Structure 1
Amino acid sequence: MAETDFSDFIRANYELHEWRHAVAILKSDFPDEWADILRMLEDFRLYKGWIEVGGGNRSNLAAWVDHTLGERGWVETKFNTQIKVDEITRDSPTHKVDCFRNRVALEVEWNNKDPFYDRDLNNFRLLFDLGVVSVGVIFTRADELQEVFDAMGRGSSYGNSTTHMGKLLPRVEGGSGGGCPLLVIGIKKSLLTDAEPPAVPKKAKAKKKPAPAPLLEPQRAD
């Protein structure tokens, strides 16, 4: 990544990592989606109120990202995928993508158990191999936020076994994302604010996509 790829604000307030030229692909092939991501990062703030109330089934932080990108055409999407061997076709369902638009998939991992990273990366790998995702993005938290949680008395709710950068990077560097270009963004503590959190609408129902071409279709030997 070049310094000019991101504004001073983004570079100062987020931990950024990429693999397989994800940023270059976003800038050149998906300029509208790239602009959406940059604008979301510029607008985002980490409200103390979000940390104090916890998340429930879907955290307010994740709901804010869903809504912010949703206003620009990003939708939660589930793909119906299949594997065909000889004449037998089996469903091979992928997990839904939090935010999807025009071959760019973005997942929010704020405070889930860290195996959710395995799910996300495997999903990106499979959808990339099927030709329906060109870049995968994971929006998560930097390790340094643990200091904030501990200071607020919420450290036990955001422990070492939950989703943070230290759990994600070894998985990506170990090849869990396969050939899919990846951009990983970690929220830093400098984004923390005492301001009143905004009201966040509920998430829309996932949009289903038709099945892409089968992942496997071996030919029968003569």
Structure 2
Amino acid sequence: MTRGAAILAAIAAVVATATAALGDEPTFDPRVMSKLLREVDRRGTPNAYFQQCPTDVWRKLVPRSNVVLPEMNYDRCERDALACARLCFDGHNPEACFETARVIQDNGGEDQQLKAEAMFAQACATGSAAGCTNRGAGMRLGRLPDSLRGNEKAANHCTYETFKLSCSEGDAWGCTMYGAALQNGEGVAKDKDAATMAFKKACEIDASFVACQYAKSYMESGH
């Protein structure tokens, strides 16, 4: 692994965990996990989207423009994960898809992380830019589609294009990851000026978010 790839992998690990739920007491009932995983398995799209580059599935399942989507957040999804998953699948609600992925990520074991990745891919397909970013981050950690295994050049190009897309859609982590790829030449020729612009955009989106802190660290290090 090149130095740049190692740095991006480290950031990817942070992306995968930085949005963990806050609170003193967990609200997820571990007895629900097996039912939740079966719900994901019985749907065909998550695994199908997992096997594709996120840019190829982006917004494939967006709801009709006149549909009013109920609000969803992590706490609500954690309390009733099955209802959240069904809202994702049947209502094409991007936040429900994203938060379902996070619930599996946070409460499942290592052997269940591929299910979380599949749900991030599902979130990307329903129009969650953060879902695309997190799926790209998972790819940086080696959770690749079968077609990209053993093809580092193609995998790097896919993640670069994914972060470019999610940054353009206003996702702060996407911009930080996009800038890191540009700065280190991962999937694209090095371009420090473009990287700086991406890092600055991450902070413009949310100056208090951890993605901005990492972007600033990158700009200060210059490598």
How would you bin the TM-score normalised by the shorter chain?
under 0.3
Q: For the pair shown, which has the larger CA radius of gyration, 1 or 2?
A: 1
TM-score (norm 1): 0.27
Bigger relative contact order, structure 1 or 2 (CA pairs below 8 A, ≥6 apart): 1
